[in-house]
Chains A and B, each alone.
Chain A
């Protein structure tokens, strides 16, 4: 039965051989000092066991910082002069991902057990704040018997202050050696954990904990951390409440005397909007200007992708906040009017007018407030979009982006391609790129109900973008145009003579041949994968991803080929066969509801702006606009010519 101790309480220890278990929820460095009857840490060399010199008679400490420690203690092996054993814990400090203060991490727990693991006494060290080092517990000799006392004394001055208090000579140097030893061990054994996508422990300058020590060290450099355990490593303490993948929408720390940021148009940070509370700010230039690629990720491409999704989510949520405030203001106004009208005494007269005016004023005031917050957030997001958009690589960029003029055939496929852009009515100028991850996991359906010619143009520009985003030969496009109505739109793809597989025979025969071939391919790949024998594919098997463009579906389709198409829509993406359907749902009405699953399985895109796409967080209706080649521009032709030159011709 473990006795749960409170601060200051003591408990007898049944034997000399013990284990001290420390669990802290974050890596900590453990050290032990031995003291004589007066509590002095003396002797010819200091009685201090730490990661650099882990062994003392009767006790050994781990060489590295860890969230869980087990210290084996043999009190019987201690020299007779030793009357006190102090267990010290310290945060490693200055390490990326490490906690900055004990107040920001789960309360450390210390438990004394027998070597077999039976609990004797436990102690949770609560109520810690800016401390970075602790005297956790004390084992002491009283009249020949050993006892444990729960101490839990924190030191905001960090390890040097703690060691000085312990009477260790040259405390600052010793603390430096301890941190150095723990850091060296880290470098040798484990790599720092990668930033998890959801972790979001971003360094936000505003969230720097106001540590008791004013040492403004450079975070993340182990060298600077040595000797100053209380180095304020910026913003790593605690869980970041902000958006999981990015910094806050509103700039932190509005600093009146700061130079300001001319790059943020219309930026007027509300007083007290930032999370900084006078914490030491390494960067005195005020609110940070948005930077392209300011998100988690292993490469610039991934960071930009995550940043765009972060902007997407922030815009969705900001607008949701505004809309809910507006709805609430309206409903409260309606209720107040109803109440006014329900009472015959207040229905008319000067009092009624005044009450109505008051209700209206209340509604307006709330909406104005909500609008101000929305404008602030939109200004920040607009400023961010202005730096992000020009920084995008071609697969993410619109056709009007100059980066397409310097297009080079890539060596590997991107992680996503841009399908178009999304806007909300609250901010029609703020376009969020709609990115689709590659390989596409669902088919694309360009709805041609409104404009057939334009739908085909959109399909061709998407196919060209997919082709251009893949290395030469890694992406193949089949075009089914049984009616021949899309020939003009498809011309750019065929112009190079090498981009689209040779057009099949027109009409039913062509449809049936191409679908038969692709169905067989998907079937073969699935069989190979299920059998665990992907190497057993026939020699000369084309491993490229396949895109099938179908114009004017379901013209020239029969029941058999419609079924094959449905099979491709379901099973194709896993086998690298993707659909790009240009169709008007009305044309296929004769098939009745059997095609509904097909339509539902595909992502519907429209050639003209249309508000039919919902975001995954709050479900606003977003207006989709396809990414089209600017009129009169030859950028598509240029890109395709460059691509054609880079790949071998089919049949060559």
Chain B
């Protein structure tokens, strides 16, 4: 069962059977929109990048993105940069895996972002989505559709945060502009 999340919606990642999530994956998939008119078959390549920023008490302490694929503590891993999208044909083109049990104790929030590295806005991508999957059983927990996302080049997707009873997830869905996650930090801070 998938929840199509709306902005600001918060879901708990603890499960029905009482256990809490231990591993989640943020998957990102997209295809470049075909051009109209002459040379229409020449799709422009669009490079979207998924990043995860680890926060401790609202201070960024580590980041996982295409140039730093594993967080220093090894708990958050990016499976690799995809420059063109569409590889999964509806599947994930980029994934970030989070081993929640191994996240350092001071990290209390992990924010997932998506940026358009090549500068196209989300209006130019097709079938773009971002989803959160429970890695232990492959169940999709939440899905966001980016298509028709308007004239933005970045989006702050969601965050997982540590609470007294385990981890929970909040959809953020704030559009922003920027090429990499660094440009997004000011936009992320209000969402923490």
Please, what's the 1-or-0 string for A169-205, where 1 marks a CB less than 8 Å from any CB in chain B? 0000000000000000000000000000000000000
How near does chain B come to A437, taking the closest CB pair, in angstroms?
22
Which chain A positions have C-beta within 8 A of B135?
207, 238-241, 275
User: For chain B residues 74-107, which have a beta carbon within 8 Å of chain A?
Assistant: 74-75, 77, 79, 88-92, 95, 97-99, 101-102, 104-106
- For the complex, count residues of B whose C-beta is within 8 A of A: 45
Which chain B positions have C-beta within 8 A of A618?
72
How near does chain B come to A225, taking the closest CB pair, in angstroms?
19
The answer to whether A115 has its CB under 8 Å from any CB of chain B is no
Q: Are A103 and B20 in contact (CB under 8 A)?
A: no
User: For chain A residues 231-269, which have a beta carbon within 8 Å of chain B?
Assistant: 237-243, 248-250
Q: Are B73 and A109 in contact (CB under 8 A)?
A: no
- On whether A321 and B95 interact (CB within 8 A), knowing A277-B15, A277-B136, A329-B106, the answer reads no
Which chain B positions have C-beta within 8 A of A369?
105
The answer to whether B25 has its CB under 8 Å from any CB of chain A is yes
Q: Are A324 and B140 in contact (CB under 8 A)?
A: no
A617 to B95, CA, bound (A): 20
* CB-based nearest A residue for B19: A277
Binds A, one of B41-49, B55-63, B169-177, B181-189: B55-63
Partner of B133, one of A23, A124, A238: A238
Which chain A positions have C-beta within 8 A of B99?
241-242, 248
The answer to whether B168 has its CB under 8 Å from any CB of chain A is no
The answer to whether B12 has its CB under 8 Å from any CB of chain A is no
Q: Which residues of A contact B (CB under 8 A)?
A: 23, 25, 100-101, 103-109, 124, 126-127, 129-130, 206-207, 209-210, 237-243, 248-250, 270, 272-279, 313-314, 317-318, 320-322, 324-325, 328-329, 332, 366, 369-370, 373, 617-618
Which chain A positions have C-beta within 8 A of B56?
328
How near does chain B come to A642, taking the closest CB pair, in angstroms?
42
- On whether A107 and B91 interact (CB within 8 A), knowing A129-B140, A324-B104, A370-B106, the answer reads yes
* CB-based nearest A residue for B56: A328
How near does chain A come to B184, taking the closest CB pair, in angstroms?
21
Which chain A positions have C-beta within 8 A of B136?
206-207, 209, 275-277, 279
Please, what's the 1-or-0 string for B28-43, where 1 marks a CB less than 8 Å from any CB in chain A? 0000000000000000
Main SS class of interface, A: loop
Partner of A373, one of B57, B91, B95, B105: B105
Partner of B101, one of A107, A108, A238, A275: A275
Q: Are A130 and B137 in contact (CB under 8 A)?
A: yes
Partner of B105, one of A23, A273, A277, A370: A370
Provide 20 A-B residue pairs closer than 8 Å at the C-beta atoms, listed in order of the A residue: A101-B138, A106-B88, A106-B90, A109-B89, A126-B2, A127-B2, A129-B1, A237-B138, A238-B25, A238-B138, A241-B99, A250-B101, A279-B136, A313-B74, A321-B75, A322-B104, A324-B72, A324-B73, A325-B105, A373-B104
The answer to whether B109 has its CB under 8 Å from any CB of chain A is no
A127 to B5, CA, bound (A): 14
How near does chain B come to A128, taking the closest CB pair, in angstroms?
8
Which chain A positions have C-beta within 8 A of B95?
239
A23 to B137, CA, bound (A): 22
The answer to whether B9 has its CB under 8 Å from any CB of chain A is no
Q: Which residues of B contact A (CB under 8 A)?
A: 1-2, 15, 17, 19-20, 22-23, 25, 56-57, 59, 61-62, 70, 72-75, 77, 79, 88-92, 95, 97-99, 101-102, 104-106, 127, 133, 135-140, 143, 166
4 smallest beta-carbon distances between A and B, as pairs = A106-B91, A104-B138, A317-B74, A241-B97
Which chain A positions have C-beta within 8 A of B15?
277
Q: Are B166 and A272 in contact (CB under 8 A)?
A: yes
Q: Are A321 and B137 in contact (CB under 8 A)?
A: no
- Residue among B23, B75, B79, B97 having the largest count of chain A Cβ atoms under 10 Å: B23
Which chain A positions have C-beta within 8 A of B61?
324, 328
Q: Are B140 and A127 in contact (CB under 8 A)?
A: yes
How near does chain B come to A77, taking the closest CB pair, in angstroms?
30
A617 to B90, CA, bound (A): 33
A602 to B104, CA, bound (A): 35
Which chain A positions have C-beta within 8 A of B72?
317, 320-321, 324, 617-618
- Residue among B23, B73, B127 having the largest count of chain A Cβ atoms under 10 Å: B73
A100 to B135, CA, bound (A): 13
A96 to B153, CA, bound (A): 41
* CB-based nearest A residue for B131: A126
Q: Are B104 and A239 in contact (CB under 8 A)?
A: no
Q: Are A332 and B101 in contact (CB under 8 A)?
A: no
Which chain A positions have C-beta within 8 A of B17?
277-278
How near does chain A come to B127, taking the closest CB pair, in angstroms?
8
Which chain A positions have C-beta within 8 A of B105?
321, 325, 366, 369-370, 373
A313 to B23, CA, bound (A): 20
How near does chain B come to A608, taking the closest CB pair, in angstroms?
29
* CB-based nearest B residue for A204: B136
A369 to B22, CA, bound (A): 18
How near does chain B come to A23, taking the closest CB pair, in angstroms?
5
A276 to B143, CA, bound (A): 24
How near does chain B come to A340, taking the closest CB pair, in angstroms?
17
Which chain A positions have C-beta within 8 A of B97?
239, 241
A208 to B101, CA, bound (A): 17
How near does chain A come to B31, taking the closest CB pair, in angstroms?
11
A329 to B106, CA, bound (A): 8
Q: Are A317 and B90 in contact (CB under 8 A)?
A: no
